[in-house]
């Protein structure tokens, strides 16, 4: 075994990644370090790096339960509306499902994660679950059936929003259901005793003090494998659907800010991240009222942690325990073999990709299957949410093609990941890609910009890492909005998006955009990679492409990459030192 001194790894990190913590002074390096030296040191680091110390996967039952309970929830997610009863039911779900999948909550049809209802039918048909249905928001009936799984209740303060987030932490570590003051009698009717009361505890306190209070009293009892940022919707709204899984795992909950202007919150958040296990999971989503997606995900990457970013992802305490059916194997729609050699014609080739979670886009909308379409898979769901991925794989049409991402085993930004943590994280990604039959890796980096400011390009050193860590992929795609990182090595292209189709962009204007883009790239073949924001329908995309004056061929991504390998009409380019940088994207 080759041992790399810790200081060498730390200094290499400071040289190579702008967004990482700086454990040694770059000024001590007397001359620029050649990229060849960086690559050599990274290779040595890879040899010395232990395997990923990943969080243990939730225990699976031998087979899905024969019976389970389902409770529909209303559309009202205001704190002065139905959030109190929803929080009670979500906390009860996390406790009832802790050792066996018993309770499934049926979120409304307008829920962002749209397959809640189709997944019920899938669990019934393919997994043999027979659901007993209770009434809408029926907490009384739910407690009558499942209160035995709780030791008591915790009361949150209706006057302090953050007290409800703290109550989720307490619910997990103390086995408590969450109630508001007007639900105490209901909890006690079912034999539950008060374990904690947050009323008046946080009056006049800012969030960093509230969460420090919770940290001091409960953090030692919480998981080091899962942390929940219960953000997203802010103010009078809250959609804490991931709360059942967080409670099940006894996670610590906050909505702390990663924004540097929130000095105290950021300091506490760094302390929490620093105490989590290596490569552990950050569940949920940043607060829309405090920081940005780029700030929060960059910070997660700085600590080498993985982001699973949906605060309103429901029922994971139930689905994480359901194994795949014995007759199922993950099989992708490969249009070409690994060793295929294609020759591009002198025409425009288009590939359309939707890279946000498949369940929050247009998977259930009309038009899917009309044209070749690429979908980015949330790879951690292979162990965290198996029946959801089985649903997608079995529901796909011949024109649906799956790829891995974003950037690794979870949502992360490669420029923000410390160099010594990169190999083990990508080893985990390779393993999941093999399980899920995925041959393309998609990369996205908002640590130094987004589609509006800064840039989403990658320096050559990072591109080198991806080529090294993923020797078996057909190629890579990069960006979210447009980007300018391109490469071709040993028949494996690295292609960035040339166009971003915003949800609000009218079809005729998008057609005009693509017409202009095609004219600006006169060399043929021209490989036009288009990112489609998830809420755009496939019918809209097909109409836009059919309206172009120059005929284009829409192809699946694996064929697109093979064709792009045959005719390099794109220019090799990486992020340049003079490119703009914005750390508040």
Output the pLDDT for position 359: 80
Q: What is the 3-state secondary structure (H, E, C) of 26-65?
A: HHHCCCCCCHHHHHHHHHHHHHHCCCCCCCCCCCCCCCCC
Residues 285 and 181 in one domain: yes
The rounded distance, in Å, linking the Cα atoms of 43 and 221 is 38
Q: Kindly compute the dihedral angle of the four CA atoms of residues 147, 148, 152, 157, in this order, to the nearest 10 degrees.
A: -20
Please indicate, yes or no, whether residues 445 and 494 belong to a single structural domain of this protein.
Answer: yes
Q: How far is CA 515 from CA 58, 182, 348, 511, 528, in A?
A: 49, 60, 11, 6, 11
**Beta strands per DSSP E along 294-340:** 306-308
- Domain membership of residue 546 (yes or no) is yes
* Domain final position from 275, 299, 319: 319
Q: Examine residue 343 and state whether it is found in any structural domain, yes or no.
A: no
- Helix (H) / strand (E) containing 375: strand 373-378
Residues 399 and 493 in one domain: yes
Residues 193, 77 within the same domain? yes
31: buried, middle or exposed (CB in 10 Å: 19+, 13-18, 0-12)?
A: exposed
Query: Over the range 53-76, which residues count as b (16 or more CB within 10 Å of their CB) and which as e?
Result: ebbeebeeeeebbeebbbbebeee
539 in the same domain as 422:
yes
Question: Residue 327: inside a domain, yes or no?
Answer: no
Q: Decide if 326 is inside a domain.
A: no
SS3 518: helix
Residues 27, 168, single domain; the answer is no
Quick one: tokens of 79?
């704190």
Alpha-carbon distance 39 to 463, whole Å? 11
Q: Are 246 and 226 in contact (CB under 8 A)?
A: yes
Confidence at residue 40, expressed as pLDDT on a 0 to 100 scale: 43
Distance between CA atoms of residues 254 and 342, nearest Å? 51
What is the end-to-end Cα distance of the chain in Å, rounded? 41
Query: Within this chain, do residues 265 and 358 fall inside the same structural domain, yes or no?
Result: no
Contacts of 262 (CB under 8 A, 6+ apart): 208, 290, 291
My answer on whether 358 and 427 are in the same domain is yes
In a domain, 57, yes or no: no
Clarify whether residues 219 and 308 are in a common domain.
yes
Q: What is the pTM of this model?
A: 0.90
Inside any domain, residue 581 = no
Phi (first) and psi of residue 572, to 5 degrees: -60, 125
| 107 and 31 part of one domain | no
CA distance 322 to 326: 12
Co-location of 110 and 241 in the same domain? yes
Ranges of the chain whose pLDDT falls below 70 = 1-55
> How is residue 437 written in tokens?
């039959």
Question: Based on the domain organization, do 283 and 180 belong to the same domain?
Answer: yes
CB 98 within 8 A of CB 360: no
Domain membership of residue 340 (yes or no) is: no
Q: Are 257 and 190 in contact (CB under 8 A)?
A: no
Domain that includes residue 17, residue range: 6-48
Give the model's pLDDT for residue 534: 87
Question: What's the gap between Cα 13 and its chain centre?
Answer: 25
pLDDT in tens, 179-200: 999 999 999 999 999 999 999 9
Six-digit token string for 548: 């172009």
Domain count, the chain: 3
User: The domain spanning residue 491 has which CATH number?
Assistant: 3.20.20.490
Residue 62 located in a structural domain: no
Helix (H/G/I), strand (E/B), else coil: 413: coil
pLDDT at 39: 43
């Amino acid at each position: 075994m080759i041992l790399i001194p810790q200081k060498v790894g730390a200094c290499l990190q400071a040289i190579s990644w702008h967004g990482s913590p700086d454990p040694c002074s770059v000024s001590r390096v007397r001359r620029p370090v050649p990229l060849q030296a960086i690559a050599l040191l990274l290779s040595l680091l890879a040899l010395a790096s232990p395997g990923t110390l990943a969080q243990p996967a939730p225990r699976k039952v031998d087979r899905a339960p024969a019976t389970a309970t389902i409770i529909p929830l209303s559309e009202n997610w205001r704190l002065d509306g139905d959030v109190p009863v929803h929080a009670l039911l979500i906390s009860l779900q996390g406790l009832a499902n802790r050792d066996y999948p018993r309770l499934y909550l049926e979120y409304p049809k307008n829920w962002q994660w749209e397959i809640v209802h189709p997944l019920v039918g899938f669990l019934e048909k393919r997994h043999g679950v027979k659901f007993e249905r209770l009434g809408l928001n029926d907490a009384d009936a739910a407690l009558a059936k499942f209160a035995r799984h709780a030791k008591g209740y915790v009361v949150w303060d209706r006057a302090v929003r953050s007290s409800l987030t703290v109550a989720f932490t307490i619910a997990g570590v103390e086995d408590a259901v969450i109630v508001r003051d007007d639900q105490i009698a209901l909890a006690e009717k079912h034999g539950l005793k008060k374990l904690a009361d947050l009323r008046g505890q946080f009056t006049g306190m800012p969030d960093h003090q509230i969460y420090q209070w919770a940290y001091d009293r409960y953090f030692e009892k919480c998981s080091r494998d899962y942390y929940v940022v219960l953000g997203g919707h802010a103010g009078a709204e809250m959609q804490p659907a991931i709360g059942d899984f967080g409670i099940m795992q006894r996670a610590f909950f906050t909505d702390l800010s990663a924004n540097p202007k929130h000095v105290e919150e950021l300091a506490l958040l760094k302390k929490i991240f620093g105490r989590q296990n290596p490569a552990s999971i950050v569940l949920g989503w940043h607060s829309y009222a405090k920081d940005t997606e780029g700030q929060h995900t960059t910070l997660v990457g700085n600590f080498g942690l993985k982001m699973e970013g949906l605060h309103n992802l429901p029922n994971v305490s139930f689905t994480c325990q359901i194994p795949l059916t014995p007759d199922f194997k993950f099989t992708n729609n490969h249009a070409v073999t690994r060793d295929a050699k294609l020759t591009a014609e002198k025409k425009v080739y288009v590939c359309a990709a939707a890279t946000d979670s498949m369940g929050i886009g247009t998977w259930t909308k009309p038009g899917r299957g009309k044209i070749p379409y690429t979908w980015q898979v949330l790879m951690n769901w292979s162990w965290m949410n198996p029946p959801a991925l089985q649903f997608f794989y079995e529901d796909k049409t011949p024109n649906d093609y799956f790829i891995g991402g974003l950037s690794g085993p979870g949502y992360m930004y490669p420029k923000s990941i410390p160099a010594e943590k990169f190999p083990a994280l990508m080893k985990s990604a390779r393993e999941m890609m093999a399980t899920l039959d995925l041959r393309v890796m998609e990369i996205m980096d908002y640590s130094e910009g987004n589609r509006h400011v800064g840039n989403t390009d990658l320096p050559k050193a990072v591109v080198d890492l991806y080529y090294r860590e993923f020797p078996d992929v057909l190629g890579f795609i990069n960006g979210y909005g447009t980007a300018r990182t391109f490469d071709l090595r040993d028949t494996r292209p690295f292609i960035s998006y040339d166009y971003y189709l915003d949800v609000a962009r009218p079809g005729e204007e998008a057609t005009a955009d693509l017409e202009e883009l095609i004219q600006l790239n006169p060399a043929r073949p021209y490989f036009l990679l288009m990112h489609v924001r998830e809420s755009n329908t496939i019918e809209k995309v097909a109409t836009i492409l059919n309206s172009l004056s120059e005929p284009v061929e829409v192809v699946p991504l694996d064929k697109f990459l093979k064709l792009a390998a045959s005719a390099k009409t794109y220019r090799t380019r990486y992020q340049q030192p003079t490119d703009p940088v914005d750390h508040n994207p």
